[in-house]
């Protein structure tokens, strides 16, 4: 072999060795750096801090809270026009670089020096995505290095299509719009596919300064920025000269809309969810974002309940409806007023109202628990207890009457006699076990018997649900499950929720339900009766008709209805209005249930103990 050939062989071998070493070093360093960086595929499940999605029972979105993308573009469905607009505006070499565009950086530096100000940035779309998902917005050299390293990793792990798709779903575009789908809706009430050239260019011009370029804030700035984007699109060959001219001369045909899911589809309910969620999670879990709250709300029933309140409230009274699953305590419906936009006061959870005769559930249950029977005879006549002289509705009295008939006709004097018979503590204890009087103490006064102590519609409905559940009280809750990022279960009612509490024995509860059914069949609750359905319920009217109540159950659902004025003015109406509204609601949803019967009342030996009549006191 000649000396020249040997020299070439050495050079080739050396080149191969050096090249291999360089490749090995680059690979080693790349892998070492990669191991210190987060997994780039996490961009597909990215959520900003503080974001919460609230779902109904059928997984329909009720509301999205926080700085979240409310609607995403599905994979592979980004319109070509939108792609071209953003590439021209933000990163014209997007399809050619590997995450960082050195030519773009140099061009931006030269441009900024010429103009004497920072007018152009050098960050690629990939770098912007890395910054949005993994980094802060700090303008530091360290952050820039991390951003570049992450951009390289994103390009190695994801396709260009995936990177652009995720960027367009997350980029902030002003006026509360996160992502192209939100922006198309907020500015033009359109989907991305429906955007015209000038509309796509306007939105593509927003990322550098969304608050300044927003057409809803600065229309002239937005038009100027749109023209710049259209010019870049023509320069890149995406549009013709005719399209450029037409786009620049197009007017701002804005059609603004509220971001989807920004407003709640059930605002009274979601206000309760927002209030109670911090009780389930730690502060850091709430802050991390990406939470999904699976609630108990039946959105279809909720809408029907809202309509019933608006259509059937007597006069111009306000109203509330709450429905609870007796077996679980899950809140299926919660309407706290006629119009949340006009008045956010939640009359289902915040308003303390006199429950009237619906409170009689507790002295009657306490009496049954101590052995009193529905057939036992009491005397209904005008009487006083320590100066308290209750009157029946219409000032009518029935004389000797059975306990069940007294309940059916809602006789006030008999309810007070029961408090005297069993004692205040027994009645209060019964109410406490059914969720009443625990946060606001009940006093040992005779007016207690007929609802002198104010309660909320939610609390009273939950108490009746406990009776419908054969004496097992379930604390009401709007939560079924709370999921964190990547669908990790943070809280589950089945595992973490409160268990049921025995409030009444089955026999007592079954007897109480039997008496409640008589109220609907032949008593004050007849307006709620539905042919072929077993309904157990009770009316309630506070003094002067200021509060109108009906709380009724079928075995699978308990619903409470209330009407009244916020200022406690007399309604000049009766509780039959609430019973009628209850019926109108149930008629609309009864197809979702099987017509079941309550358990039979347990057989007992008939007794006829007559309460000794006391003389009328002054």
How large is the average pLDDT for residues 256-273?
96
Least confident residue range of 106-120, 402-416, 421-435: 106-120
- Sequential DSSP letters for 315-374: TT-EEEEEEE-TTT-BEEEEE--S-TTT----TTTT--B--GGGGGHHHHHHHHHTT--T
* 600 has catalytic annotation: no
Range(s) of the domain holding residue 438? 301-592
How large is the average pLDDT for residues 249-273?
95
At 252 the pLDDT is: 93
254 in a domain, yes or no?
A: no
84, 152: one domain: yes
Helix (H) or strand (E) holding 482: strand 479-483
Which among 248, 268, 290 is the end of a domain? 248
Indicate which residue of 71, 90, 426, 577 is catalytic.
90
242, 337: one domain: no
At 526 the pLDDT is: 97
At 577 the pLDDT is: 97
28 in a domain, yes or no?
A: no
Q: How far apart are CA 199 and CA 79, in angstroms?
A: 13
Least confident residue range of 1-10, 84-93, 184-193, 250-259: 1-10
30 pLDDT more than 60: no
- Going by pLDDT thresholds of 50, 70 and 90, the confidence category of residue 518 is very high
Share of residues in the chain with pLDDT > 70 (%): 87
At 147 the pLDDT is: 83
Which of 483, 189, 443, 530 has the alpha carbon at shortest distance from 181? 189
307, 183: one domain: no
How many separate domains does the chain show?
A: 2
381, 525: one domain: yes
**Integer-rounded Cα radius of gyration of the chain:** 35
* 74 has catalytic annotation: no
- List the structure tokens of 258: 């509220």
Which among 204, 225, 248 is the end of a domain? 248
Side-by-side strand order, sheet with 479-483? 61-65, 52-55, 291-295, 479-483, 489-492
Which of 46-55, 143-152, 577-586 shows the highest mean pLDDT? Answer: 577-586
466, 384: one domain: yes
204, 320: one domain: no
340 in a domain, yes or no?
A: yes
Which of 41-50, 151-160, 551-560 shows the highest mean pLDDT? Answer: 551-560
Quick: pLDDT tens for 355-384: 999 999 999 999 999 999 999 999 999 999
Q: Which residues pair with residue 539 across a beta bridge?
A: 550
606 in a domain, yes or no?
A: no
Which among 233, 248, 263 is the end of a domain? 248
At 607 the pLDDT is: 39
32 pLDDT more than 60: no
Residue corresponding to tokens 């952050």: 143
CATH of the domain at 558: 3.40.710.10
- Is 146 or 156 the better-scoring residue by pLDDT? 156
221, 350: one domain: no
Residue corresponding to tokens 């209750």: 390
119 pLDDT more than 80: no
25 pLDDT more than 70: no
- List the structure tokens of 499: 């268990």
575 in a domain, yes or no?
A: yes
At 111 the pLDDT is: 54
At 305 the pLDDT is: 98
At 99 the pLDDT is: 85
Quick: pLDDT tens for 410-438: 999 999 999 999 999 999 999 999 999 99
295 in a domain, yes or no?
A: no
How large is the average pLDDT for residues 5-33?
42
268 in a domain, yes or no?
A: no
At 76 the pLDDT is: 84
Indicate which residue of 56, 264, 357, 404 is catalytic.
357
Decide: helix, strand or coil at residue 558. strand
24 pLDDT more than 50: no
229, 320: one domain: no
Helix (H) or strand (E) holding 480: strand 479-483
103, 195: one domain: yes
115, 234: one domain: yes
CATH of the domain at 98: 1.10.3810.10
At 264 the pLDDT is: 96
At 136 the pLDDT is: 60
561, 491: one domain: yes
230, 368: one domain: no
Quick: pLDDT tens for 283-335: 999 888 899 999 999 999 999 999 999 999 999 999 999 999 999 999 999 99
11 in a domain, yes or no?
A: no
């Amino acid at each position: 072999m000649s000396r020249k050939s040997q020299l070439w062989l050495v050079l080739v071998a050396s080149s191969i060795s050096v090249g291999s070493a360089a490749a090995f070093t680059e690979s080693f360093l790349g892998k070492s750096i990669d191991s210190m960086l987060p997994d780039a595929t996490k961009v597909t499940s990215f959520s900003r801090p503080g974001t919460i999605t609230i779902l109904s029972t059928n997984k329909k979105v009720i509301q999205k809270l926080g700085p979240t993308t409310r609607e995403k573009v599905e994979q592979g469905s980004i319109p070509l026009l939108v792609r071209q607009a953003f590439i021209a505006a933000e990163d014209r070499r997007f399809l050619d670089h590997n995450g960082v565009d050195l030519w773009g950086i140099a061009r931006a530096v030269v441009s900024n020096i010429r103009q004497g100000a920072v007018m152009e940035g050098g960050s690629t779309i990939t770098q912007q995505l890395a910054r949005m998902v993994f980094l802060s917005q700090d303008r530091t050299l360290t952050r820039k290095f991390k951003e570049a390293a992450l951009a390289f990793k994103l390009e190695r792990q994801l396709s260009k299509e995936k990177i652009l798709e995720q960027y367009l779903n997350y980029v902030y575009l002003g006026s509360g719009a996160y992502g192209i789908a939100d922006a198309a809706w907020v500015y033009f009430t359109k989907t991305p596919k429906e955007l015209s050239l000038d509309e796509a260019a306007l939105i593509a011009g927003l990322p550098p300064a969304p608050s300044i370029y927003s057409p809803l804030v600065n229309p002239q700035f937005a038009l100027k920025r749109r023209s710049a984007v259209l010019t870049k699109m023509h320069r890149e060959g995406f549009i013709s000269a005719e399209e450029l001219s037409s786009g620049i001369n197009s007017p701002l045909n804005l059609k603004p809309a509220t971001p989807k899911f920004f407003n709640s589809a059930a605002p009274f309910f979601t206000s309760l969810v927002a209030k109670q969620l911090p009780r389930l999670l730690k502060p850091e879990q709430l802050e991390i974002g990406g939470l999904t709250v699976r609630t108990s709300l039946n959105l279809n029933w909720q809408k029907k309940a809202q309509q019933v309140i608006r259509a059937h409230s007597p006069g111009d009274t306000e109203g509330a409806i709450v429905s609870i699953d007796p077996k679980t305590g899950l809140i299926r419906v919660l309407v706290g007023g006629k119009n949340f936009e006009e008045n956010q006061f939640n009359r289902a959870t915040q308003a303390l109202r006199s429950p009237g005769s619906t409170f009689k559930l507790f002295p009657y249950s306490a009496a049954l628990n101590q052995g009193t029977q529905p057939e036992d005879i009491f005397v209904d006549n005008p009487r006083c207890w320590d100066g308290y002289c209750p009157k029946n509705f219409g000032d009518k009295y029935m004389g000797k009457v059975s306990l069940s008939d007294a309940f059916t006709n809602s006789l006030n004097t008999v309810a007070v006699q029961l408090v005297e018979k069993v004692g205040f503590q027994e009645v209060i204890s019964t109410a406490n076990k059914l969720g009443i009087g625990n946060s606001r103490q009940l006093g040992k006064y005779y007016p207690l018997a007929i609802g002198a102590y104010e309660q909320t519609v939610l609390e009273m409905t939950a108490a009746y649900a406990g009776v419908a559940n054969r004496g097992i009280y379930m604390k009401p809750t709007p939560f079924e499950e709370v999921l964190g990022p990547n669908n990790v279960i943070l809280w589950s009612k089945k595992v973490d929720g409160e268990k049921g509490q025995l409030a009444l024995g089955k026999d007592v509860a079954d007897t109480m339900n039997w008496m409640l059914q008589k109220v609907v069949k032949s008593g004050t609750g007849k307006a709620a009766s539905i042919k072929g359905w077993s309904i157990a319920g009770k009316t309630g009217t506070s003094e002067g008709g200021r509060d109108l109540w009906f709380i009724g159950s079928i075995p699978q659902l308990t619903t409470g209805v209330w009407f009244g004025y916020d200022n406690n003015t007399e309604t000049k109406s009766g509780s039959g209005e609430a019973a009628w509204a209850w019926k109108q609601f149930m008629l609309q949803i009864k197809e979702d249930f099987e017509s079941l019967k309550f358990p039979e009342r347990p057989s007992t030996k008939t007794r006829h103990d007559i309460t000794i009549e006391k003389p009328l006191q002054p």
